[in-house]
Amino acid sequence: MINCYANKKILITGGLGFIGSNLARALLAYGAKITLVDSLIPVYGGNIFNIDDIKDKVTVNISDIRDQYAMTHLLKGVDFLFNLAGQTSHLDSMLDPKSDLEINAAAQLAILEVCRKVNPALKIIFASTRQLYGKPEYLPVDEAHPVRPVDVNGINKLAGEWYHILYNNVYGIRACALRLTNTYGPGMRVKDARQTFLGIWLRLLIEEKPIKVFGDGLQLRDFNYVDDCVSSLLLAGASENSNGKVYNLGSSEVIRLKDLAELLIDINGAGSCELVPFPAERKNIDIGDYYSNFDLISSDLGWRPKVGLNVGLENSLNYYRNNYKHYWVDSE
């Protein structure tokens, strides 16, 4: 992997976001030349503090991936595109479906067209989502499971994913997609639940407020610490075997949400949680139990998650205790 990324030109869309900034940090260790693209639109996940420790080692371009002229300029001469930018809120996708369509589908197709015209030799790694499976028919969910999105976000992310695979198959633009599950860790959005419910749980715990668990709290989930997610992206980018493939991420640690809240409280050494009814707008798009089968990426690329929940949650709590003012105080 070191030889693969050393001195290569890397473009990361959503580069000031949670996963993008952590990926940039890892790629710097391999000697890559990195440009981070982010719109810094407030309702999305970009945060300039996410790269505070590496800001002098990367190039930052404040652009929207919907700006085709900007993307044409940025994609020329790039060796790898880690395409992480997207609208991730399931609820927001239902309230503003047009913006979700523009970002998660139309802009992805436009990016691929730019690549076809000006840089067909690059490798693209696209961040997709487990949400496109909808309510599971069986568990764990593998890549052969039917895709039945339950919200606008899932439909548009599926379109964006399939555009990448289509351009791989038809035009030979090397591309693959990773269907991420619940990713967490330092740098994630925690001021609200737009990215992940676990983020707002961390904030509530630090503010000494009760964690609110929707429903009966018996929903099963799996989680990936951000370092493990970054490892999967790096392995997918480095391998020619990943071209045209779609991979699930996941974890062998599966936990009920109520138990997760109690684990978080135990790690914190204080706190409380309470069960609350599902808000109507969330209940309609909830998928129930979900956890992934990640055998394919394990066999193809040798990826397995290494960071357990206890360690990952403790790392996350410590990070936000020390840096909370950069993630919710200054923004309110």
286 domain residue, yes or no: no
Looking up residue 153, the CATH number of its domain turns out to be 3.40.50.720
- Within a domain: 206: no
In angstroms, the Cα distances linking 18 to 50, 190, 200, 225, 325 are: 7, 10, 14, 11, 16
Whether residue 255 lies inside any domain: the answer is no
How large is the average pLDDT for residues 45-52? 94
Tell me how many domains the chain contains.
1
Give the tens place of pLDDT for each residue, 174-211: 999 999 999 999 999 998 776 789 999 999 999 999 99
Q: Report the alpha-carbon distance of residue 49 to residue 38 in Å, rounded.
A: 13
208 assigned to some structural domain: no
What percentage of residues in the chain have a pLDDT greater than 70? 95
* The pLDDT of residue 43: 75
Tell whether 214 is covered by a domain: no
20 pLDDT more than 70: yes
Q: Which of 16-25, 34-43, 220-229 has the lowest mean pLDDT?
A: 34-43
Q: Tell me if 42 is assigned to some domain.
A: yes
**pLDDT confidence bin for 281, thresholds 50/70/90:** low
Task: Name the residue range of residue 149's domain.
Answer: 2-184+223-250+291-306
Does residue 274 lie within any of the structural domains?
Answer: no
Domain presence at residue 7:
yes
> Structure pTM?
0.95
Can you tell me the distance from the alpha carbon of 12 to that of 28, in angstroms, rounded to the nearest whole number? 12
Say if residues 326 and 246 touch (Cβ distance below 8 Å).
no
